[in-house]
Structure 1
Amino acid sequence: MNRIKYASVFKIEGKTSIEKRVNIRPFFNAKTPLKVILKNNTNLKHDILIQGSGTLVLGENSYIGSYSVIGVNSRIEIGKDVMIANAVSIRDTDHNFKDLNVSMLKQGIQTEPVYIKDNVWLGHGVVITKGVTIHSGAIVAANAVVTKDVPENAIVGGVPAKIIKYRNE
């Protein structure tokens, strides 16, 4: 049903697979519409939530695992051959909170794009925060919280994520 209701949100460029219960929640009061661009041979597993008013690009041969949440109010670009495990959260937005006299709900948001380059593996339960770039060949260990850029071919883990080693070591 959502596939029909939100068909205008999707731009599909080749063969794709969208499993059951992929929930699309555009923010209708936003200045820009939510857009989801799926390149060739992509897969959205079941029970994913994609919400916001920005643009999500999922590159060729990439997939997003079940129970993941993508919050996009600016831009999230996911490259080619990217594996995103189950229960991953990727967000390009934070709420403002500095004014103690105004409810955080009313203080607005800050956005910065998230870039996940080619050939990246995000383990189960990973959290990616706004403004982060994960460079090609990187691996992010299960349940890591990524708050800073991850170098090419680095293996990171922890809260916040830190470099454990490089894949060629």
Structure 2
Amino acid sequence: YEIDVDIPLIYLLLFILGKIFSGVYGMISLRSLYPIYRNRNTLIKCKSKIYFGRNVQISRGCIIDGLSHEGIHFGNNVSIGLNTTILCSGSLKSIGKGIRIGNNVGLGTNGFYGGAGGVEIGDDTIFGNFVSIHPENHNYDNDIIPIRQQGVNHKGIRIGNNCWIGAKATILDGTILGDGCIVAAGAVVTGIFPGNSIVGGVPAKIIKTRI
């Protein structure tokens, strides 16, 4: 950590104590040999399907449910913001594929990350607050049968390395973002975008490139 010189000493001491307690609690509750920083006010379900790298940090109010075919894989140095939900399956009838998160990834607060159709997130990618990811779509072609009874379809979502996803962005099924992409705040993203694209809007389009 790099510490700002203006941080009060008592704040810094409480921060360090909190890290120690959450690290010990995470190691014991998740049966890990190396630190996983888990706050007590979190819910983790289907632990046998969740694979943690080193130095994963889980903030207060998070819900992580690993029920899926391939589970949830966290890389090293992943931070999960306050009140974030990671949910791989929407029903027991047909469980989802799973989620794979690379190293040095930051998930902002109040996010929703679905994994029904499969999600891959590359290394060094950061997410703003209130981001949602939905790798699943409802079928609706039949106008006689209720939509809720027509099932779903999946294409999956892939987000490359070194991307920045702005606050309140929505990533929809079938999206592929190449390495180095930036998604503007509030964008609704669907489609395939080459590396180093800056995209924004509803629906999102390429605004410019970083190169």
Please confirm whether the aligned pair reaches a TM-score higher than 0.5, indicating the same fold: yes
Structure number with bigger Rg: 2
Counterpart position of 2:154: 111
Q: Distance in 2 between matches of 1:19 and 1:8?
A: 20
Counterpart position of 1:98: 141
Counterpart position of 2:202: 159
> Structure 1 residue 13: deviation in Å?
2.0
Pair 1:69-2:112 in alignment: yes
Counterpart position of 2:48: 8
* Residue from 44, 47, 61 that aligns with 1:21: 61
Q: How many residues align?
A: 163
Q: CA RMSD in A?
A: 1.5
User: What is the TM-score of this pair, normalised by structure 2?
Assistant: 0.73
Identity across aligned pairs (percent)?
A: 32
Pair 1:144-2:187 in alignment: yes
Report Cα offsets for 1:107-155 as digits up to 9, x if no partner.
0000111100000000001111111110001100000111111211111
Q: Distance in 2 between matches of 1:99 and 1:14?
A: 47
SS at match of 2:192: coil
Q: Which has a greater percent of helix?
A: 2
> Structure 1 residue 6: deviation in Å?
3.5
> Structure 1 residue 10: deviation in Å?
1.3
Counterpart position of 2:82: 46
SS at match of 1:155: strand
Q: Which has a greater percent of strand?
A: 1
Is contact 1:26–1:33 with CA below 8 Å preserved after alignment? Answer: no
SS at match of 2:48: helix
* Residue from 153, 177, 184 that aligns with 1:134: 177
> Structure 1 residue 34: deviation in Å?
6.7
Report Cα offsets for 1:29-65 as digits up to 9, x if no partner.
xxx4472110011111111112222211111000111
Unpaired segments of 5 or more residues in structure 1? Answer: none
Of the two structures, which has the highest relative contact order with CA contacts closer than 8 Å and spacing of 6 or more?
A: 1
